[in-house]
Amino acid sequence: MEWENINREALRLIKNEHGLNEPGQVKGWAMKTNNFMMLSQRIISMAKQSDIMREYTTLNDDFKKRLKDEDRKTDEKEIGEKRPILESLPPRELKKEEVIKKVKKQG
């Protein structure tokens, strides 16, 4: 929703700056050399000023921090090094059927 508003606002500003009133005029203007890039740059600059970009970068920074923390846990281990108990897999619990099969094999 917010991206749509940013796009509409950028188009409105371009229309006002260049006196484009008809939908066909806007399309023709955008297809000319460098005009499409100008419109894209306007949209990007408006997005950078909005909250949506700030929220994205905040979430991305948090993700990078968590990823770095997870990598730190694995990168410090050498090949063959045992894991601490906290990082070990929990012991496997036998299902009822498996216990019955083991008992039948033994007896």
Flag whether pLDDT at 104 surpasses 80.
yes
Cα(66)–Cα(60) distance, rounded to whole angstroms?
10
Flag whether pLDDT at 85 surpasses 70.
no
Residue 19, Ramachandran bin (φ over 0: left; ψ between -120 and 50: alpha; else beta): left
> Could you tell me if 46 and 9 are in contact, meaning their C-beta atoms sit under 8 angstroms apart?
yes
pTM comes to 0.42
Flag whether pLDDT at 73 surpasses 60.
no
Cα(68)–Cα(48) distance, rounded to whole angstroms?
26
